[in-house]
Amino acid sequence: MSQSASQSPSSRPVCLRRSVLSVPAINRRALDKLSSLECDAVIFDLEDSVSPEKKAEARENLRAFFSASPLPGKERIIRINALSSNFGADDLALVTELEPDAVLLPKVDEPQDVSDVSDRLAEADAPEDLRIWAMIETPRGILNAAAIAEAGRTAGSRLDCFVVGLNDLRKETGVLPQPGRPYLVPWLMQVILAVSAYGLEAIDSVFNDFRNAEEFEAECGQGIAMGFAGKMLIHPSQIEAANRHFGPAEAAIAEAQAIIAAFAAPDVATLNVVNLGGRMVERLHLVQAERLVHKARLIAQRSSDMAAAPRTEV
């Protein structure tokens, strides 16, 4: 489901990552509900949300869940504990056994953090399409975001996506949580520049107060305006708003279709710029339009599949 780390932003496959729900692997009831939820991706968390004495039980939960629930159409990511911890090696062994779509590394500070896991996955003969996601949630991670993203272009690297973690970043820097995230915006845009330069994607940080729907909506709008592909979520109630904000609006789809139609006309086959209703549109906009329309089709297909799927009451 994920793109090669060496691809440019315009050539990477279109992935649906509007809503990336994080679920504690220790919570069996939450795991059982996943098949009925309309999130695009699921992060099965073995790290912060699982206490040390429950780590082994959480891994067993995932082993049982993956054997029974493939979650078709949803990207599956397992967040492990750091390899330097007492749990990281066992977590990574579980990843190679279950073969999710990606493994999410916590607190990535430098390129070596990614290459170490890439090497271990290669040694374990993990499938090439088992990708790596990186949590960027420390001051060093922000400072090294470009270097980490650049390392994703090296041969053998599996790096595919960044996930911003603002809770840890706030804790380490002392920046207070405020509406609009004014003091965090420069760091967030630094992450966007890094992934854009090296053909990756970035997922915006969680919003902790899931009962505050108005502020969550505003933060989703800010995230899509910045260039994030989607948002990491902590509660199912946040899925609908994330899907709506990070999915293409009807007006944007119509405009994209008009751009595609304009460049499809026989008399503009050799032109790089066309006049579309008094506005000059370049061929680079055609590439963006094609990706947006393709994303809209994937969303429509997802909705159709969800509507057709039998619902299980949990």
261-299 residue pLDDT tens: 989 888 887 888 988 888 889 988 898 899 899 989 988
Is residue 8 pLDDT above 50, yes or no?
no
Residue 113 is assigned to a ligand binding site = no
pLDDT score for 301: 83
Q: What are phi and psi of 301, to 5 degrees?
A: -65, -40
Give the confidence band of 309 by pLDDT, cuts at 50, 70, 90. Answer: low
Percent of the chain with pLDDT strictly greater than 70: 93
> Comparing C-alpha atoms, which of 228, 286, 229 is closest to residue 255?
286
Is residue 310 pLDDT above 70, yes or no?
no
Q: Find out whether 52 and 72 touch, Cβ atoms under 8 Å.
A: no
Give the confidence band of 7 by pLDDT, cuts at 50, 70, 90. Answer: very low
User: Could you write out the DSSP letters of every residue in 70-116?
Assistant: --TTSEEEEEPPPTTSSSHHHHHHHHHHH--SEEEESS--SHHHHHH
pLDDT score for 69: 78
pTM (whole model) above 0.95: no
Cβ neighbours for 65, distance < 8 A, ≥ 6 positions apart: 31, 44
Residue 170 is assigned to a ligand binding site = no
Separation CA 92–CA 82 (nearest Å):
9
pLDDT score for 108: 97
| Segment 49-77 mean pLDDT | 94
| Segment 137-158 mean pLDDT | 92
Which amino acid, one-letter code, is at 232? Answer: M
Is residue 89 pLDDT above 90, yes or no?
yes
Separation CA 189–CA 5 (nearest Å):
20
CB atoms within 10 A of CB 127: 11
Mean pLDDT taken over the chain: 91
| Segment 195-211 mean pLDDT | 95
Separation CA 90–CA 103 (nearest Å):
13
Range with the poorest average pLDDT among 108-117, 197-206, 284-293: 284-293
Range with the poorest average pLDDT among 45-49, 80-84, 288-292: 288-292
Separation CA 33–CA 17 (nearest Å):
19
Is residue 256 pLDDT above 60, yes or no?
yes
pLDDT score for 14: 79
CB atoms within 10 A of CB 187: 20
- Around 12, how many Cα atoms within 13 Å sit in the side-chain half-sphere? 23
| Segment 144-153 mean pLDDT | 94
Residue 79 is assigned to a ligand binding site = yes
pLDDT score for 12: 67
pLDDT in tens, 211-241: 999 999 999 999 999 999 999 999 999 999 9
What three-state secondary structure class fits 235?
coil
